[in-house]
Structure 1
Amino acid sequence: MGSRLALLCPGQGAQHRHMFDLAGTSPGASELLDTLLPAIRLDATLAQVLEDDARLFSNRLAQPLMVAATLANWRALAAVLPAPALVAGYSIGELTAWAVAGGLAPAAAVALARARAGLMDDCVAAGPAQALVAISALPYGAIDGVMRRLDFHLAIETGDDSFIAGGPAAQAADLERAIGALGGRAGLLPVTVASHTPFMRGAVDPFAAALRQHAIPDPAVPVLSGISAERLNHGAKAIEHLSRQLAEPIRWKDCMDALVEAGITVALELGPGAGLSRMLQARHPQIATRSVADFRSLGGIAAWLGRHVE
């Protein structure tokens, strides 16, 4: 069997001031960005936003900017990328994945990311401040009771003993102390939205309605569902899975295992950031895995792909 390529689309948290630099070396990607940025409705120039962490990491801008940056890298690589066998996305990256797979126009994906962020922010505004905490060195089952007591919920499962939990910000420090007392590690993430938990239930139906406003054709290649790790081949599934994942846990560990089951031999994270490629490399080292963030030039990415993709 020949090589099979998977493309990985990251979630927010990996954004940085140079996130558009690589795409900026491609005329096609620069042209795409010119059409995508107006949909984000930046409150300053792009350069000013990239230099201002308060703006760059605000939920309302972080989500559409991550989608735009990932899609720009994808367009920059269009000439050298072989046809993928599967596309997977982490959190907001799953929306990007549908665009990469041909189920959504890039401009529609960015506009939907902006709407998604706004709906999630509305859920935050309706209650107490929220937080995400990264937990490791403990299986979820060992602290389920502690989390329930503090009103925290599983948000993203990243490994056998690592996951992200979401809940009220006022209880985050208590959770960190409890995890430490049990021998685990915990750290507050720079995200103020308890995504993929019941705190986001109010956004599910409105986002499904927003998705229904777009004709979503069947993707050219399957998209991996974050909440079930199943391969989705029909556009109608995008509405259900992209809306449900707002308030349900992302099973990223299962998604990584599903790549192996699908016969994937090569994986490229479209960046910015390299978190997904590092997780996959650690869990399944037999898959040749890199991120565009690892390279200094588009030519370097093309050369690596040439060595690993038949």
Structure 2
Amino acid sequence: MLAIVCPGQGAQKPGFLAPWLEVAGVRDSLVAMSEASGVDLIHHGTESDAETIRDTAVAQPLLVAAGIIALDPLVGAAGSGAGPQADLLAGHSVGEITAAALSGVLRREDAMRLVAVRSRAMAAAAAAEPTSMAAVVGGTREEVLTAIQEHGLTPANINSAAQVVAAGAKERIDALSAAPPAKARVIPLQVAGAFHTSYMAPARQELEALVAQLTASDPHPQCPLVSNAAGEVVTEGGRYLELIVNQVAAPVDWEACMRVFADRGVTGILEVAPAGTLTGLAKRELKGVALMNLNTPEDLDAAGGFIREHGSAVDRVDAVDHDEEN
């Protein structure tokens, strides 16, 4: 049982797309996705520095494009997406757009249009007033949530049993950092604003207007999407669009997504580039589940073997192909 997961903002690194340009077809794909998003993905993914790609309007399109080009050599750029290869697909925050593109729920051009509007709208909302986010690591869940609430903040990301990200006004984040919950550390994050909170309401309105112009397909029947919205298992394209609009101003519950993986008997988790964040959380939360990071073309052979080993959907696809040949 295979889950393919897609990282969120903060996972990007300077030059991380450079190795992929050596793979056949990747440059053309990046050019097309650059046109759709209005962002020069090749330049920013190979030459821009860390500060430049920290910009929300740059980082988010880069991340979606990276996940697409990383998996393309394994599932086929012109094929039916990762659905037949995996049993579940999920993404953290903006990674949900990557997952939708990989599954075929969104055409990749529409996915890039969506992430372009999302990223610019979120950046604009963040610039309206000084807000920030901080990871609260350790402590007990009840005490951590109480402390976040007492400081007038929102638990914007519930990443694992040991990590909750608080978001809100910058001075309140500073106050939480100065008085952390018992046995917990507060780590300020280098982000532009309080994402996944009510501060992002203007961005939500912009997304509503765009989504009305998009058409979403249903996920592959054997590979639903697992949503950040309390781990809801999404089997309809229309429902995906509703959730992705709400998501910008609502908490990301990645812990709930991991519970779905456990409940469904996932044996392997493959994280697409730039990988490591979500497999790191799974390493602590999902003991015994095999993990694979697909970061560079050098990982492709191992990733292909990992998919064949854990993707029960592959057996179904092979069986269909065999029947068609006969």
Pair 1:47–1:232, CA change in 2 (3 A) = closer
Larger CA deviation: 288-297 vs 115-124: 288-297
Q: How many Å separate the matches in 2 of 1:76 and 1:20? A: 15
Measure, in 2, the Cα distance between the counterparts of 1:55 and 1:139: 36
The answer to whether structure 1 residue 185 and structure 2 residue 185 are counterparts is yes
Q: State the shift of 1:47 in Å.
A: 5.2
Which residue is equivalent to 2:54? 57
Is the contact between residue 22 and residue 297 of structure 1 (CA under 8 Å) also seen in structure 2?
no
Q: Would you say the 8 A contact 1:64–1:111 is kept in 2? A: no
- Please state whether the residue corresponding to 1:77 is helix, strand or coil: helix
User: Distance in 1 between the 2:296 and 2:65 partners?
Assistant: 19
Following the alignment from structure 2 to structure 1, what is the Cα–Cα distance between the partners of residues 74 and 47?
A: 23
Residues 49/175 of structure 1: CA separation in 2 closer, same or farther (3 Å cut): farther
CA distance in 2, matches of 1:28, 1:77: 13
Partner residue, 2:37: 40
1:131-181 deviations in whole A, cap 9, x for unaligned? Answer: 1101111234214443234331101111223111111123322211211x6
CA distance in 2, matches of 1:145, 1:165: 11
**Deviation by residue 1:170-203 (Cα, 9 ceiling, x = unmatched):** 3322211211x63311111111121111211222
Deviations 1:234-289 (A, max 9, x none): 01101211011111111111100101212221110012131001111221122211
Change (3 A) 1:101 1:44: closer
| Contact 1:130–1:169, Cα closer than 8 Å, also in 2 | yes
Q: Counterpart of 1:284?
A: 286
Structure 1 letter corresponding to 2:118: R
For 1:192 and 1:36, the matched residues in 2 are separated by: 24
User: Kindly tell me: are residues 295 and 275 of structure 1, through their superposed partners in 2, closer, same or farther at Cα, counting changes over 3 Å?
Assistant: farther
Q: Hey, what's the Cα distance between the residues in 2 that align with 1:272 and 1:48?
A: 11
For residue 86 of structure 1, the aligned residue among 77, 85, 88 is: 88
| 5+ long unaligned stretches in structure 2 | 313-326
* 2:168 counterpart of 1:171: no
Letter in 2 for 1:142: E
* Percent of pairs with identical residues: 26
Alignment-derived partner of residue 319 in structure 2: none
Q: Which residue of 1 aligns with 2:324?
A: none
Provide the rounded CA distance (Å) in 1 between the counterparts of 2:70 and 2:272.
6
Matches within 5 A, 1:62-211: 62-78=59-75, 83-126=85-128, 128-179=129-180, 182-211=182-211
Normalization by structure 1: what TM-score? 0.90
The residue type paired with residue 172 of structure 2 is: Q
- Would you say 1:216 and 2:213 are equivalent positions? no
What secondary structure, in the 3-state scheme, does the structure 2 residue paired with 1:214 have?
A: coil
SS of residue matched to 2:218: coil
Q: Which amino acid aligns with 2:20?
A: A
Cα distance 1:309–1:237, how it changes in 2: closer, same or farther (>3 A)?
closer
Change (3 A) 1:103 1:146: same
Unaligned runs of 5+ in 1: none
Q: 1:299 is matched with which residue: 291, 301, 312?
A: 301
Maintained 8 Å contact 1:87/1:97: yes
Distance 1:95 1:79 in 2: 18
User: Which amino acid letter does the alignment assign opposite residue 57 of structure 2?
Assistant: R
Q: CA deviation at 1:22?
A: 4.2
Shift of 1:309: 4.8
The answer to whether the Cα contact below 8 Å between 1:156 and 1:251 also exists between their aligned partners in 2 is yes
Q: 1:297 to 1:85 in 2, by over 3 A?
A: closer
Distance 2:156 2:145 in 1: 13
**What letter is aligned with 1:137?**
G
**Structure 1 residues 194-273: aligned runs within 5 Å:** 194-220=194-220, 221-273=223-275
User: How many residue pairs end up in the alignment?
Assistant: 305
Cα RMSD of the aligned pairs, angstroms, is: 2.3
Give the Cα–Cα distance (whole angstroms) in 1 for the partners of residues 45 and 175 of structure 2: 36
Match of 1:19 among 16, 23, 41: 16
Distance 1:247 1:88, change over 3 A: same
CA distance in 1, matches of 2:149, 2:271: 34
Output the amino acid matched with 2:52: R
2:207 and 2:45 map into 1 onto residues whose CA distance is: 29
